[in-house]
Amino acid sequence: MAHQSHWTFGASTLQRVVESEEALLSPFEIFADCTQAHLDANRGWLMPRFQDPHSGILAITIQSFLVRQAGLTILVDACGGNGKERARPHFHRRNWPWLDRLREAGVAPEDIDVVLCTHLHVDHVGWNTRLENGRWVPTFPNARYLVARREWDYWRTAGPAALVRTGDFITDSVLPIFDSGQAELIGDTHALKSDIAIEAAPGHTPGLSMLRLQGGGSEAILCSDLMHHPLQLRYPDWSTRFCVDPIQAARTRASFLKEHANTGRLIFPTHFPSPTGCTIQRDGSSYDFTYCGEAEAQIGRSSGD
């Protein structure tokens, strides 16, 4: 089982719940701007942690985050889920032990008060629902599922073309939470507590949301899919082929990196390999990062970019 890590920010605790960590996507599939020359220039830090040296496939983590504060348990995103019909093999009819990992973290599905759907993509909404007597029902019966209004406005009118690559995850993993009355549409900003706030990060999807935690003199930002891979720190203008608005995604990422570099804030991109939490440092027109608890930046200055 992929290991889980713990952090504390004032009154809040943060913990990962990992569904999978493996080499998953070709760099040329995910990044339209990527060439072999870019990969060769960064080989020293990419392999083997961030790119498989044999296949060349990039390591991608699929995970959720648990945030707990007295009287409030928040699940940020719900991975790919089990038993779903999907066009992508990694997500098709899987049988992940994710619920067991949630329980190992000390939380039962009934304990979740809030599910933050940072955006409505296949790898973030799967465990929103589970199959019960042939019907997809909410996995977390006592939770409010928070979805940005901009996000829902996009997906409810996007049509079948937006689901060709993945399969229809909206019908089995999103509509049931609306049917049960548990979905709650929120604006671009939304406070859960005085020290836990949701913020907008548009581009990858129109309503992509981040979660900011504060307390004890420290701060963390769960930035979801604002970045998918550390290569985007080296090349901040690279957006993924999966971004609804790649130009806006690059603008949002550039602003985010400028704001948070050299501040010591811990940044948690959903798809970075273990241990995920990192600080960001400016390096000319690019950025380096240091994983929490590790002494040296993961990205060295490359010579060929």
Contacts of 19 (CB under 8 A, 6+ apart): 62, 63, 64, 79, 80, 96, 98, 101
CA dist., res. 177 & res. 211, Å (int): 21
The continuous run of DSSP H or E covering 29 comes out as helix 27-30
**pLDDT interval class at 297 (50, 70, 90):** very low
CATH fold group of domain 6-212: Metallo-beta-lactamase; Chain A (3.60.15)
Quote the pLDDT of residue 293. Answer: 64
- Over range 149-163, report the average pLDDT: 94
What proportion of the chain, given as a percentage, has pLDDT over 70?
Answer: 94
Quote the pLDDT of residue 1. Answer: 32
Q: Any idea where the domains of the chain sit in the sequence?
A: 6-212
**Counting runs of H as helices and runs of E as strands, what totals does the chain give?**
10, 16
What is the DSSP annotation of 143-199? -EEEEEHHHHHHHHHH-GGGGTTT--HHHHHTHHHHHTT-EEEE-S-EEEETTEEEE
Please determine, for residue 305, whether its predicted confidence score (pLDDT) is greater than 80: no
Please determine, for residue 4, whether its predicted confidence score (pLDDT) is greater than 60: no
Q: How does pLDDT run across 28-86, given as a tens digit for each residue? A: 999 999 999 999 999 999 999 999 999 999 999 999 999 999 989 999 999 999 999 99
**pLDDT interval class at 292 (50, 70, 90):** confident
Lowest-confidence region among 255-259, 270-274, 284-288, 299-303:
299-303
**What is the CA 115 to chain-centroid distance, rounded?**
13
CA dist., res. 278 & res. 214, Å (int): 16
Task: Tell me if 66 sits within 8 A of 15, measured CB to CB.
Answer: yes
